[in-house]
Every structure is written in structure tokens, then in C-alpha cells.
Amino acid sequence: IALINTGLEITLNRRSFATFVGGFYRGTIISQPAKPFLESGSLLKEYVHSLGLSLVSVGDGVEYNFCDTNFGSTNNYEEILKNTSLVIVPSSTGWGFKTKIADAVTLHQSIIIHRTQYDRLGDWQQMVSPINDWREIPNLVLKKISFQEYEEFIENLRVQREECLMNLAK
């Protein structure tokens, strides 16, 4: 992800996708959204369109009839990410979602996640917009995070990681 981050500041305003991210292997928990999410598909699409974005999905077996495009399992994942300004994590259970959030933060993307996942994020909560119920999506106000805030957050994580590794080496 860091490799595709080059020149990011220039391209932030030209991203056209809101992307549902699923797993790279069919049947992973992150690829299995809850029933309320699926039932709110038309509301999600309207919300994304109100932001001027196209609603897309990516992941093995991740396809929704309310998306503008379903990329499925693709070799163009990095290209899709480069064109994504909003990441939506559809699952409210399971594992693997933190990696998707870390990727999105690295790429300075807005993130929507269900409250049950949000409550497990710790420091990362400041970087995402939680939603309690997908039916409430029309009223969601995305967190505004500046380029500088993304960079400071990422740098703080790097420093914390280095300190942790140094303490383990002692």
C-alpha cells in the first residue's frame, strides 16, 4: 500500500469510487455482511451518489446487486484503491477488517464501519466514521480528516511500532 501512496496529495480530489472491501478468499468473514447491510443497499447507493461517487465492490465472491460495479476478485486491486475516496467495511463481525482500515488510512481514504467493529479499534477510532445501523446511512456525516492529520497519525503509528520493537529487543 505504501508503494501506491506516491504522489497521493495530488490525486486526492480525483477519486471516483466508494468501495466495499471484502476478502481475497471466498467465504471469509469480512466478505459476509449482516442482513441489515444488505437490506440497506439502495440507501447506501443513494448516499454514495450524493457524494458524487460510484459504488463499487471488490473481493472474491463480493457482489451486490445495488453496486454500480462489482469487480470481484481482480488483479487491478491497487488501481481500484487508487481511485477510492471512501471505503465501506460491510461486515459487523469477524477479523481482517483492521488491515482494510490500515490500508485506507495509509491512502487517506474516508472509512465507514459498523459500530461493533468500531468499538474494537482503540486509537484507530479517530480515523473512521462509525454507523450504528446501516439504515441510518442517509444521516451519516463523514469525519473530515486533513492530509496533515493522516500523515501525523501514520507517523505516530510508526514511532509506536519502533518503540515496541525496541522494547522487545531489550
pLDDT tens per residue across span 8-39: 554 555 789 999 887 665 666 565 677 888 89
Task: Using DSSP, state whether 56 is helix, strand or coil.
Answer: strand
Strand pairing report for 84-89 and 17-21: parallel
Task: Tell me how far apart the alpha carbons of residues 38 and 90 are, in angstroms, rounded to a whole number.
Answer: 9
Q: How many CB atoms lie within 10 A of CB 148?
A: 8
pTM of the complete model = 0.84
Q: What is the pLDDT of residue 31?
A: 59
pLDDT value, residue 79: 84
pLDDT at position 157, please?
87
Task: Give CA–CA dist 121/142, Å, rounded.
Answer: 17
Query: In angstroms, rounded to a whole number, what is the distance separating the alpha carbons of residues 46 and 39?
Result: 13
Q: What is the pLDDT of residue 10?
A: 43
Q: Which residues of 59-84 are buried (b: 16+ CB within 10 A; e: fewer)?
A: bbebebebbeebbeeeeebeebbbbb
Report the chain's mean pLDDT, rounded to a whole number. 84
Low-confidence stretches of the chain (pLDDT beneath 70): 1-13, 23-32, 94-96
